[in-house]
Structure 1
């Protein structure tokens, strides 16, 4: 009886481990962490795109941090990867709620010129591309910080992979992100 219980326990444990492991085709990474908190305003990629030949005006509140490049890597490149939105969430020491910054729609499309210039403005990584990176930084502003700190949070990427038959598979990946106030 003990052996049967032991075998059942082993099988249940193996099942639990198998269910909790996620073998995602997509990975996301960022450059330059910790990212400095800058006590000034900035101009987003969307404001630059919308300004065209005119001078863009600052639309990112002080204080902000900037993610210079977001890179998406894939093992299987047989499907189109569509990025729906990106969420950054960081708990600032002494703050009751985390700082949250979300990019979607035109704001997300502006992070890469060919995304914004496409008719659909879809943040799409085409079939055959194993590594793909943004070409314009992601800004997150309006962070109230009076003390020096280092804070770590997560960047989550939500989207889907679409195959040639238009079948879609949800994608959610994340990476850590660290900011620093001087």
Structure 2
């Protein structure tokens, strides 16, 4: 499953451009960097009736809601992969946070509950939002800063004939360490 997602992501990166039909937006930017651990949506889903344990490393930020808006709703939007990349001041490499597979599906209860666990925005939906936050952890920060990066969403739109069109959209994201 993960190999398929990686191959699909590589193909989408190679052949797609920003899509004019799909837009992505997030709530609450700048997002605070929190010096604690957290429990991901996937850990909550997998715990069932048991108590979930923290699986997000300190320090983390969370994106409360990711919203997908579309002008033309005649196709199903399949979200394959989300990547956040932020250059932290003083760091040689950017912080990268990637969501795909079950981790991505857990951001919305009906995605995770489906047999395929496919992150799909159905035909006819103009606006569709996640119902559980996206967490990105393990960020080393000793100083105060504000850093801006990009959230990229890779996927495809599938029409009634099963023809697929690659989709790649992005939105800015800002985090802040106090």
TM-score (norm 2): 0.90
Larger RCO, structures 1/2 (Cα 8 Å, 6+ apart):
2
1:70-97 CA deviation, whole Å, 9 max, x = no partner? 0000000000000000000000000000
Query: 2:89 corresponds to which residue?
Result: 93
User: Aligned residues, how many?
Assistant: 178
Asked whether the equivalents of residues 12 and 154 of structure 2 are also in contact (C-alpha less than 8 Å), the reply is no
5+ long unaligned stretches in structure 1? none
RMSD: 9.5
CA distance in 1 between partners of 2:114 and 2:61 (Å): 28
TM-score (norm 1): 0.88
1:104-124 CA deviation, whole Å, 9 max, x = no partner? 000000000000000000000
Asked whether the equivalents of residues 19 and 168 of structure 2 are also in contact (C-alpha less than 8 Å), the reply is no
CA distance in 1 between partners of 2:175 and 2:36 (Å): 15
1:126-157 CA deviation, whole Å, 9 max, x = no partner? 00000000000000000000000000000000
Q: Which moved more, 1:86-95 or 1:19-28?
A: 19-28
Q: Which has the larger radius of gyration?
A: 1
Task: Specify whether residues 118 and 93 from structure 1 end up closer, same or farther in structure 2 by C-alpha distance, changes over 3 A only.
Answer: same
Q: Which runs of at least 4 in structure 1 moved beyond 2 Å after TM superposition?
A: 5-23
